[in-house]
Amino acid sequence: MGVAQRNGLRSCARLTRGHKITIALLTILFVIYHSTPYDSRPRAFVRFQQNNVEDYIQNNYPSDSWLLRPQQYPINPDRDIGVILKTGYGTRHRVNALLQALSNETFFSDTIVVQDFPVIEEIQKNYSLANGKVVPAIDIIGWNLKRGALNGTENLERIRKYKHLAAAVEAEEWMLSDGIGRNMGWELDAMKVGRPLATLQLSSRRSNNLQFLPSLEYAWLNMPKKKWYLVLDDDTYIIKPSLTLLLGHLNPAKPTFLGNPVGDYKGRFPHGGSSVIISGSAVSKLYDGHPDVVAEGHQESPTATWGDKLLSTTFMKIGVYLDETYRRMFNGENPWMTRMWVDRFCLPVVSFHGLGEGDSMEQVGNTFKHMEAPVFWRQLADIYGAYNFSSFHQDPVRANMDFVGRLDEYSTTFTDVNDMPQCIKLCGQHRNACLAWTFDPALRVCHIAPWAIIGDLAEGRFSGVNAPLAEWIANKCHTPS
């Protein structure tokens, strides 16, 4: 026996009983993890804890250093991205506004519109981008039924509701169609893609369950070999330069699934309204490599609760998991209510959501028209002409305004606050967790938050932004080449 072997045996002999038990437990856990299916709960739990650790580090030690590196995988969005735009009967009027908004910033990628009702020729046959590129509309549920992917589910409630709506549309019974669309549009939309849990601001409670898998498959068959596939709701806007910057740092040959994560450890999935991005290699791995898994997903779709989650759990079965590294670039709010978080200041913002009412999509499209550079979270107030952070040195208090906005578990509310100076003092005492404050004298409450919005009118309230903290963080940001 050699000297090295003898020394190794002596080292093992010196291990305490506690050390041996620890090693044995770690070995058992390693074996269990790698011997269970890709979508097993042990694997999901380990990934969830790992993501929590990484999120904690990014939150407390934000970094934009990766932006400074040269892009290893630069893309041409018009050539390399396929866009899947989801709509429903009740929201079909939004599509033209979104296509025009994307055209304003010359976002001319190959695009399809997927919907949960038959195509209305006189209205939808002329979908196009401003450069003349045709955007076809597809009744994705009808397509999936005709090809037999939903065989055996025809008598399930959601399928019957789809057929009811389809019959009314084809008979041009518009009043009946409108009534059906209002009453059960959320369930039919469930057959397309998916909506998130209530942990994010939602514009509706549609589930999109029956559309996501067939929509992605249809895109793969009709827009093949794209490096990336982008899935949008009809009230979601994408900032093209920000998206291009992000994807230029990611390898499309690696199966990748990106978005704004929601859900517990048993099935993390992306918030559909914030947009979902999937690499072409991930799509190929699923549809070309695992048709049995796809078929199983189609059969689950009529009874699934969330289509976003169904897509995620389907990908999990083949070992493709939601990558949460870039979660901070996906935004589920409209621009005027977007919360500029401290840990996002130095990062680009890719998406806005909740632009389905009135002319809000048109306004956003005009605001970001011909945008040539990435947009960073810290720039939103300047872009909208609301304020610059330095202005709060001279004028620290704004009457009838609220710069905190929507409250959640990350904001802090103090009660029995006597006056505005006390609220400002509380913000100062929590300087790393207070980017904005709002004082309500009628209720004697003070709200502070680690974010700021561009400002919302709030009669009787007083509010301000922590300028020193905002400037300190902004000065640490770098500008990518």
User: Is the pLDDT reported for residue 155 higher than 90?
Assistant: no
What mean pLDDT comes out for the span 217-223? Answer: 96
* Residue range 309-366, pLDDT digits in tens: 889 999 999 999 999 999 999 999 999 999 999 999 999 999 999 999 999 999 999 9
For residues 304 and 209, is the Cβ–Cβ distance under 8 A?
A: yes
- Match 């006056």 to its residue by tokens: 419
> What pLDDT sits at residue 199?
38
Q: Rounded to an integer, what distance in angstroms lies between the CA atom of residue 167 and that of residue 188?
A: 14
Buried b (16+ CB within 10 A) or exposed e, 123-137: ebeebbbeeeeebeb
- Dihedral through CA 110, CA 116, CA 121, CA 126, nearest 10? -30
Band of residue 24 on the pLDDT scale cut at 50, 70, 90 = low
Q: Given the DSSP bridges, would you call strands 276-279 and 257-258 parallel, antiparallel or unpaired?
A: antiparallel
Q: What is the chain's mean pLDDT, rounded?
A: 86
Band of residue 39 on the pLDDT scale cut at 50, 70, 90 = confident
Distances (CA, A) of 464 to 169, 303, 344, 433: 52, 48, 19, 14
> What pLDDT sits at residue 387?
93
* Three-class DSSP category at 355: coil
For residues 271 and 259, is the Cβ–Cβ distance under 8 A?
A: yes
Specify the higher pLDDT residue, 27 or 390.
Answer: 390
Rg, C-alpha atoms of the chain: 25
* Residue range 223-275, pLDDT digits in tens: 999 999 999 999 999 999 999 999 999 999 999 999 999 887 777 889 888 99
Q: HEC states along 194-215?
A: CCCCCCCCCCCCCCCCCCHHHH
* Residue range 425-447, pLDDT digits in tens: 999 998 788 999 999 999 999 99
> What pLDDT sits at residue 26?
61
Q: Rounded to an integer, what distance in angstroms lies between the CA atom of residue 44 and that of residue 355?
A: 34
Give the start-end residues of each E strand in 247-366: 257-258, 261-262, 269-270, 276-279, 322-323, 340-341, 351-352
> What pLDDT sits at residue 35?
64
* Residue range 92-149, pLDDT digits in tens: 999 999 999 999 989 999 999 999 899 887 777 779 999 999 999 999 999 999 999 9
Q: Given the DSSP bridges, would you call strands 412-414 and 445-449 parallel, antiparallel or unpaired?
A: antiparallel
* Three-class DSSP category at 462: strand
User: Is the pLDDT reported for residue 407 higher than 80?
Assistant: yes
* Three-class DSSP category at 239: coil
**Pick from 318, 298, 266, 267: nearest CA to 37:** 318
Q: HEC states along the chain?
A: CCHHHHHHHHHHHHCCHHHHHHHHHHHHHHHHHHHCCCCCHHHHHHHHHHHHHHHHHHHHCCCCHHHHCCCCCCCCHHHHEEEEEECCHHHHHHHHHHHHHHHHCCCCCEEEEEECCCCCHHHHCCCECCCCCECCEEEHHHHHHHCCCCCCCCCCHHHHHHHHHHHHHHCCCHHHHHHHHHHHHHHHHCCCCCCCCCCCCCCCCCCCCCCHHHHHHHHHHHCCCCCEEEEEECCCEECHHHHHHHHCCCCCCCCCEECCEECCCCCCEECHHHCEEEEHHHHHHHHCCCHHHHHHHHHHHHHCCCHHHHHHHHHHCCCCCEECCCHHHCCCCCHHHCCEEHHHCCCECCEECCCCCCCHHHHHHHHCCCCCCCCEHHHHHHHCCCCCCCHHHHCCCEEEEECCCCCCCCCEEECCCCCHHHHHHHHHHCCCCCCEEEEECCCCEEEEECEECCCEEEEEEEEEECHHHHHHHHHCCCCCC
- Of 13-27, 62-76, 303-317, 371-385, the least confident: 13-27
> What pLDDT sits at residue 200?
42
* Three-class DSSP category at 240: helix
What mean pLDDT comes out for the span 83-92? Answer: 92
Show the CA angle centred on residue 335, arms to residues 442 and 124, nearest 5°: 130
> What pLDDT sits at residue 9?
43
> What pLDDT sits at residue 29?
60
How many CA atoms lie within 13 Å of 81's alpha carbon, on the beta-carbon side?
24
